[in-house]
Amino acid sequence: MKRNIYISNMDDSKAMQIYMEKLIPNVKASMQEISTYDALGMITWEPVYANESSPCYNASAMDGIAVVSKNTKGATDTSPKVLEEGEDFEYVNTGNSIKEPYDSVIMIEDVVNESKGSVTIIAPSHPWQHVRPIGEDIVKGEMIVPSRHKIRPVDIGAMLSGAVGTVKSYKRPSIGIIPTGSELIEDFSKLEEGKIIESNSSIFKGRAEELGAAARRYPPCSDEYEALRHKIEQGVRENDMLIINAGSSAGTKDYTAAIIDELGEVVVHGVALKPGKPTILGIIGGKPVIGLPGYPVSAFIAFERFVSPIIHWMTGSNETEYEFIDANVSKRIPSSLKHKEIVRVNLGYVGERFIATPLTRGAGVTMSLVKADGMLEIPRNSEGVEAGEKVSIRLLKPICEIKNTLVSIGSHDVIMDEISDIMSMSSGHVGSMGGIMAMKRGECHIAPIHLLDEESGEYNVSYVKRFFPDGGKVLIRGVKRLQGFMVKKGNPKGVKSFKDLSRDDIVFVNRQRGAGTRVLLDYNLNKEGISAEDISGYTREMTTHMAVAIAVKSGSADAGIGICSAAHALGLEFIPIGYEHYDFLAEQEAVNDSRVREFIRILKSQEFEDRLQSLGGYKIEDSGSIIRVGEQIGE
Amino acid sequence: MKRNIYISNMDDSKAMQIYMEKLIPNVKASMQEISTYDALGMITWEPVYANESSPCYNASAMDGIAVVSKNTKGATDTSPKVLEEGEDFEYVNTGNSIKEPYDSVIMIEDVVNESKGSVTIIAPSHPWQHVRPIGEDIVKGEMIVPSRHKIRPVDIGAMLSGAVGTVKSYKRPSIGIIPTGSELIEDFSKLEEGKIIESNSSIFKGRAEELGAAARRYPPCSDEYEALRHKIEQGVRENDMLIINAGSSAGTKDYTAAIIDELGEVVVHGVALKPGKPTILGIIGGKPVIGLPGYPVSAFIAFERFVSPIIHWMTGSNETEYEFIDANVSKRIPSSLKHKEIVRVNLGYVGERFIATPLTRGAGVTMSLVKADGMLEIPRNSEGVEAGEKVSIRLLKPICEIKNTLVSIGSHDVIMDEISDIMSMSSGHVGSMGGIMAMKRGECHIAPIHLLDEESGEYNVSYVKRFFPDGGKVLIRGVKRLQGFMVKKGNPKGVKSFKDLSRDDIVFVNRQRGAGTRVLLDYNLNKEGISAEDISGYTREMTTHMAVAIAVKSGSADAGIGICSAAHALGLEFIPIGYEHYDFLAEQEAVNDSRVREFIRILKSQEFEDRLQSLGGYKIEDSGSIIRVGEQIGE
């Protein structure tokens, strides 16, 4: 079987340049003439000029009376003038035509002594007072909007006012999307081992529509040469551009490049972009045909890099500029010299500066796109970015939204998700010790921690004292939460104690170093004199409660330690160990920050208590109260 | 006839507060359950949790071979291992399930010596290498997006991956819009004196749709009590919210408030907001019914202030924050103590600061909305803003777009519109002298001028020398343009010379002081010994060529002076006076600015020459060449 393992590693900019040079002579944008009423969001093909002036006559600008200005001369408080209707004046409403001999309007509010057929005025009216002259708004022949302009509601208003009934606009290009892969399903009820719900095509469709294209998703095509070839021919025939998703790599069933080569031309196969390397830029019958990688993040990044600019060009859009901000990265981001890398980041606004924290770099993690506030580009031939370095981040959200967001870095708990449903909060999960370090570096507003002092058996306070000997910090009392052993439903292996973890027939799954739950385990192992080496799986580390729960659920481990709510969420059996304090470390001044105040308000709210109730395994005790560290708890 | 002249002047924030307090108990947002595939742009009603993990099995992360890791131990370059298909390994593509006994994947690129049924490996494989564990992307029960979240393409992707097939979202509220006024028409062919093309309802509809509502425009309703009452009843019945446009003021036929009062309650009538004062905030049958003023700008501002927040609330949107920037205002903006005023501004980025220049404040000028880059709010009880003062401007365009825009302030010419169709340029029209002053204050990148030295008969250079004695400026050669007398088709009054302007039967229309065309007139009057006082209409000042042309066209003047292209645009007769230099003043360093360089490139381009040709009345001579002032022209 032929295998396409020889793909190039071309610079992404060079790839795009070569591709566009081949496309431009072939691909034409197309024009349509549409009703102005339907033009919202369309992009003008040519400048739009007014067909008529607006107003197209001299119009009263007020409700009042039309008068002949020279006849009003001399009217004052003390020598008012009486005007006769039909002779000296006529009633006019705003917008009425001012016809000869009238040349001026007096506001109704300035008219006194109205009686049938006559009025009294106490001030003269200047020529053209309160009259909108012809063309005041728009002059016939004036350019209302230029070409390549995205039509907004006010533009439609102005065009209608200028008697422009139809607009020439770029026609929405039609983008066909063919998902490929025999493992892809669309019917959720068929989800089983080896099957994946097809989702990339919906991301592409949504993006294409946001960019002003019309998108058409085809059903997933199986990995069969003839079927795919047939589908690609159809897709090219029916659309202005075709995207084939996956099949662009070097697997045994990756036919895309071969078929494009057969039907047209593969211009580029493989770019020095991570994620996004196995992209194919092809042309069939003069139309762009692009093979995108299968992993959702790779697919998205390659779409943005190669497909978006072509859609922009086909739609006539000018909006190819992105907003950038400067931010300091919170940790080192190594990168390979071999490719340009696009890193998804969370952005936080802490202490008057933006902090960029890289999200997981796995190409399969769609959630890193969902959670990203920005994108960092690390150029080829760079070894990466050092912690603290200032970098330029492409924004994915408005700055004001980022500024309003409370930044939490530290231990993970399901309640953080619930709070982020009530207020704007971003939540990084690096364990309790990671949270303390982030607070030390000024990268977060709050750090959730649950750290058991192995000597005193007390939670959190001693750690804060130790790591912040100069004070200035407070603990915001969070919740008491139940930790315990998570095991399969029915507890088939009868796990009841820490001792059981060292049994030969038990495979354990652990949390990472620095996690409060790991500290809890080590404290208890130490207390009971159990050696870590006796526990099978002690070295297998997960970074969240849910990840531990899923390892147990899927059978790759028999037991793990975690919180009750995580066990509940996955329907696991839960054997309680005990309650612990899950609190929030913060700067003393931060309690005056509006975001932190809102957070405290929520901790104290009934809504929060209700949510805890339904999660299970939590206790509320003085939640939201401030503990000044160095003094008595509860003071 | 009853007249609603007694309307209040309530603070806009207080009005909104009182109104919302009455609305909230009555108005409910509604929920709908929709297919995830159709959810783009909808707003989540509740948090969305994953129904399944993704992947839902341990999946190969690479194309390659699945192996048992412990059986690969010890493989090296020098002691390779041969594996048998079906026994030691199986071929897998990305996404394939990794089943027992396999626990690891070797990339196909790392496999050597492939032959039928066996492969050779030269390195060991670690447990779970290149395997995506269950839930790597999304864990069952994980919150994918919170409530009140606007669904983006990546959210749809993540929801599908999490087997979420339907989403509970806010239902789009339906907004009815009734234009009122017997002067309104929708059929352009019926446009005549006293008639206005109805355009506000399309602006409202577009804005409502942008905000996520469904909008329904009703045909214009005449100013008849019963007809309007009937229409309002229908509108309330058929929609979640109703907007009635115009009829909210104090004219003889403004029934809106009376009808709302009859059918429900007028909560507020009249707010201290300019433009936007005669707004009516009413409730009928528990639904918001809002009367908006008739002038397009008033209508738009009142819509943004009162209607948008209610739509946001009904759609569940969180996006109520706007982006602001600090800018210096270029000229004094007086305002009344009586009301809050919203001023539309152009924004320019000149010399590392943002400059805000107020656009016309006329409530009838839709084009001021089309041209606005931002909005300045001048609070009640403020007398306005001084020139140079730093203010906060709400942005209507992305900052990067504003930063990329060339700012031109000075004399007006139709060619500026044409250039703004080729590049991003904002063009303020304040006459040549106004341009020189703007350049002195550092408010523009270029200043178009055409100033005739009355002594030397030479254009522009002597003015630049006089106003910038320290140098540092250049002139970018623009075009030679034909100035002349504009008269009605057929020149019925036989205007041929400056002398004719002083004839008794000729009414003239002039340009404003500081306009180059005014200088040209005065130079010639002086040369020919004609007194300004002898010219009827000498004191009537227009600020653009088009405004002069329209005055002649509409018959309010017999003659004016202006450029050939303006006369052509309106089909006027044009009697040439002569060519003048229309050049662009700029800072010497500015010629290295990318925006100015692009401008110069255009002046020299064939495209520009072609456009001049079709406008008529221009000559190209060294266009785009740089004249260093103080040295010989053309050097």
* pLDDT, tens digit, 9 for 90 and up, residues A278-316: 999 999 999 999 999 989 999 999 999 999 999 999 999
* Chain A CB contacts of B199 below 8 Å: 156-158, 160-161
For the residues A168-195, what does the mean pLDDT come to? 93
Residues 6 or more apart in contact with residue B332 via CB below 8 angstroms:
B384, B385, B386, B387
In this predicted structure, the answer to whether residue B37 has a pLDDT above a threshold of 70 is yes
Q: Nearest residue of A to residue B401 by CA position? A: A321
Phi, psi angle pair for B477, to nearest 5°:
-60, 125
What SS3 class is residue B82?
strand
Separation between Cα atoms, residue B243 and residue B258, nearest integer Å: 15
Query: To 10 degrees, what angle do helices A431-440 and A516-528 make?
Result: 130
Quick one: CA torsion of A188, A194, A197, A203, rounded to 10 degrees?
A: 180
* Chain B CB contacts of A94 below 8 Å: 249, 251, 294-295
| Candidates A96, A163, A322; nearest CB to B188 | A163
* Chain A CB contacts of B59 below 8 Å: 196
Q: Nearest residue of B to residue A322 by CA position? A: B400
| Candidates B108, B399, B551; nearest CB to A250 | B108
Interchain CB distance below 8 Å, B546 and A400: no
pLDDT recorded at residue A46 = 96
For the residues B402-417, what does the mean pLDDT come to? 92
Number of A to B CB contacts under 8 A, please give it. 316
Interchain CB distance below 8 Å, A399 and B183: no
Separation between Cα atoms, residue B632 and residue B552, nearest integer Å: 40
* Chain A CB contacts of B91 below 8 Å: 252
Does residue B124 have a cis peptide bond before it, meaning omega lies within 30 degrees of 0? no
Q: Nearest residue of A to residue B96 by CA position? A: A194
The distance of A161 to chain B (nearest Cα, Å) reads 6
For the residues A216-227, what does the mean pLDDT come to? 93
pLDDT tens for B439-485 read 999 999 999 999 998 888 889 999 999 999 998 999 999 999 999 99
Q: Measuring CA to CA, which residue among A580, A549, A584 is closest to residue A427?
A: A584
| Candidates B134, B254, B417; nearest CB to A143 | B417
What SS3 class is residue B489?
coil
Q: Which amino acid is at A412?
A: H
Residue A121 near residue B537 (C-beta atoms within 8 A): no
pLDDT recorded at residue B319 = 67
Q: What whole-number percentage of chain A has pLDDT above 70? A: 97
Q: Nearest residue of A to residue B615 by CA position? A: A141
Give the residue carrying structure tokens 């032929």. A2
Separation between Cα atoms, residue B280 and residue B4, nearest integer Å: 12
The distance of B386 to chain A (nearest Cα, Å) reads 27
pLDDT tens for B49-64 read 999 999 999 899 888 9
Residue A154 near residue B370 (C-beta atoms within 8 A): yes
Interchain CB distance below 8 Å, B156 and A199: yes
DSSP B79: S
In this predicted structure, the answer to whether residue A210 has a pLDDT above a threshold of 70 is yes
* Chain B CB contacts of A143 below 8 Å: 417-418, 420-421
Residue A41 near residue A212 (C-beta atoms within 8 A): yes
More confident residue, A218 or B362: A218
Interchain CB distance below 8 Å, B367 and A323: no
Q: What is each CA distance from B271 to B8, B263, B276, B305, B320, in whole angstroms?
A: 6, 22, 7, 11, 21
Q: Nearest residue of B to residue A366 by CA position? A: B158
The distance of A15 to chain B (nearest Cα, Å) reads 23
Residue A215 near residue A202 (C-beta atoms within 8 A): no
Interchain CB distance below 8 Å, B200 and A157: yes
pLDDT tens for B161-206 read 999 999 999 999 999 999 998 889 999 999 998 898 999 999 999 9
Interchain CB distance below 8 Å, A550 and B364: no
Reported in sequence order, the residue ranges of A271-379 that DSSP labels E, i.e. its strands, are 273-274, 280-284, 287-292, 324-329, 333-334, 340-350, 353-358, 374-378
* Chain B CB contacts of A147 below 8 Å: 421
pLDDT tier, B249 (very low <50, low <70, confident <90, very high otherwise): low
Interchain CB distance below 8 Å, B137 and A366: yes
In DSSP terms, which residues pair with A90 in a beta bridge?
Answer: A66
Neighbours of B482 (CB within 10 A): 18
Separation between Cα atoms, residue A280 and residue A276, nearest integer Å: 10
DSSP B172: P
pLDDT tens for A228-250 read 999 999 999 999 999 999 766 65
In DSSP terms, which residues pair with B392 in a beta bridge?
Answer: B326
Q: Measuring CA to CA, which residue among A537, A596, A542 is closest to residue A566?
A: A542
Token pair belonging to A464: 């804060």
Q: Measuring CA to CA, which residue among A31, A28, A18, A30 is closest to residue A285?
A: A28
pLDDT tens for A61-76 read 888 999 998 899 889 9
For the residues B395-406, what does the mean pLDDT come to? 91
Separation between Cα atoms, residue B56 and residue A88, nearest integer Å: 86
The distance of B604 to chain A (nearest Cα, Å) reads 20
List alpha helices for A411-457, DSSP H: 414-420, 431-440
| Candidates B154, B160, B569; nearest CB to A197 | B160
* Chain A CB contacts of B369 below 8 Å: 154, 157-158
The distance of B443 to chain A (nearest Cα, Å) reads 24
In DSSP terms, which residues pair with A584 in a beta bridge?
Answer: A448, A476
Query: To 10 degrees, what angle do helices B225-238 and B256-263 make?
Result: 50
Q: What whole-number percentage of chain B has pLDDT above 70? A: 97
Interchain CB distance below 8 Å, B56 and A193: yes
Mean per-residue pLDDT of chain A: 91
Report ipTM (2 d.p.): 0.89
Separation between Cα atoms, residue B338 and residue A247, nearest integer Å: 68
* Chain B CB contacts of A295 below 8 Å: 94
In angstroms and rounded to an integer, the radius of gyration of the C-alpha atoms of chain B is 34
For the residues B529-546, what does the mean pLDDT come to? 89
* Chain B CB contacts of A252 below 8 Å: 63, 91, 93
* Chain A CB contacts of B277 below 8 Å: none
Token pair belonging to B340: 């809050």
DSSP A550: H
Residue B588 near residue B474 (C-beta atoms within 8 A): yes
* Chain B CB contacts of A181 below 8 Å: 95
pLDDT tens for A252-278 read 567 899 999 999 999 999 999 999 999
Which residue of A35, A199, A536 is the best one to mutate when testing the B interface, meaning the one whose CB has the most B CBs within 10 A?
Answer: A199
Interchain CB distance below 8 Å, B153 and A204: yes
In this predicted structure, the answer to whether residue B553 has a pLDDT above a threshold of 60 is yes
What SS3 class is residue B342?
strand
Q: Which domains can be identified in chain A, with CATH numbers?
A: 12-28+173-315 (3.40.980.10), 31-54+136-170 (3.90.105.10), 59-132 (2.170.190.11), 324-402 (2.40.340.10), 425-628 (3.40.190.290)
Separation between Cα atoms, residue A489 and residue A505, nearest integer Å: 17
Residue B327 near residue B354 (C-beta atoms within 8 A): yes
More confident residue, A551 or A247: A551
The distance of B158 to chain A (nearest Cα, Å) reads 6
pLDDT recorded at residue A633 = 41
Give the residue carrying structure tokens 């969420």. A569
| Candidates B161, B323, B364; nearest CB to A400 | B323
pLDDT recorded at residue B6 = 57
pLDDT tens for A388-442 read 899 999 999 988 889 999 999 999 898 999 999 999 999 888 889 999 999 999 9
Interchain CB distance below 8 Å, A210 and B47: no
For the residues B565-570, what does the mean pLDDT come to? 87
Tell me, rounded to whole angstroms, the distance of Cα B389 from its chain centroid: 24
In the sheet that A265-269 helps form, which strands lie side by side, from edge to edge?
A214-217, A174-179, A241-245, A287-292, A280-284, A265-269
Give the residue carrying structure tokens 């924050």. B321
Residue B242 near residue B232 (C-beta atoms within 8 A): yes
H/E stretch holding A569 = helix A564-569
Alpha-carbon dihedral sign for residues A443, A446, A452, A453: positive
Phi, psi angle pair for B4, to nearest 5°:
-90, 60
Per-residue H/E/C for B419-439: HHCCCCEEEEECHHHHHHHHH
* Chain B CB contacts of A553 below 8 Å: 134
In this predicted structure, the answer to whether residue B630 has a pLDDT above a threshold of 70 is no
pLDDT recorded at residue A252 = 56
Token pair belonging to B619: 């000559």
Q: Nearest residue of A to residue B91 by CA position? A: A252
Which residue of B48, B69, B112, B193 is the best one to mutate when testing the A interface, meaning the one whose CB has the most A CBs within 10 A?
Answer: B193
pLDDT tens for A337-362 read 999 999 999 999 999 999 999 998 88
Residue B330 near residue B353 (C-beta atoms within 8 A): no
Phi, psi angle pair for B367, to nearest 5°:
-60, -25
Q: Nearest residue of B to residue A552 by CA position? A: B134
Which residue of B5, B151, B154, B419 is the best one to mutate when testing the A interface, meaning the one whose CB has the most A CBs within 10 A?
Answer: B154
In this predicted structure, the answer to whether residue B633 has a pLDDT above a threshold of 50 is no
In this predicted structure, the answer to whether residue A499 has a pLDDT above a threshold of 80 is yes
pLDDT recorded at residue B615 = 87
Residue A263 near residue A232 (C-beta atoms within 8 A): yes
pLDDT recorded at residue B2 = 46
Q: Measuring CA to CA, which residue among B427, B192, B482, B610 is closest to residue A142?
A: B427
Give the residue carrying structure tokens 């800018």. B327
Label the pairing between strands A287-292 and B626-628: unpaired
Q: What is each CA distance from B517 to B416, B450, B543, in whole angstroms?
A: 17, 8, 10
* Chain B CB contacts of A61 below 8 Å: 364
Neighbours of B30 (CB within 10 A): 11
pLDDT recorded at residue A635 = 40
Interchain CB distance below 8 Å, B193 and A145: no
Residue B398 near residue B434 (C-beta atoms within 8 A): no
Interchain CB distance below 8 Å, B143 and A58: no
Separation between Cα atoms, residue A162 and residue A54, nearest integer Å: 6
pLDDT tens for A583-612 read 999 999 999 999 999 999 999 999 999 999
In this predicted structure, the answer to whether residue B332 has a pLDDT above a threshold of 50 is yes
pTM of the full structure: 0.89
Token pair belonging to B243: 């907007």
The distance of B475 to chain A (nearest Cα, Å) reads 27
| Candidates A40, A154, A207; nearest CB to B153 | A207
Separation between Cα atoms, residue B589 and residue B583, nearest integer Å: 17
* Chain A CB contacts of B196 below 8 Å: 54-55, 59, 95
Separation between Cα atoms, residue B5 and residue B270, nearest integer Å: 10
More confident residue, A109 or A173: A173
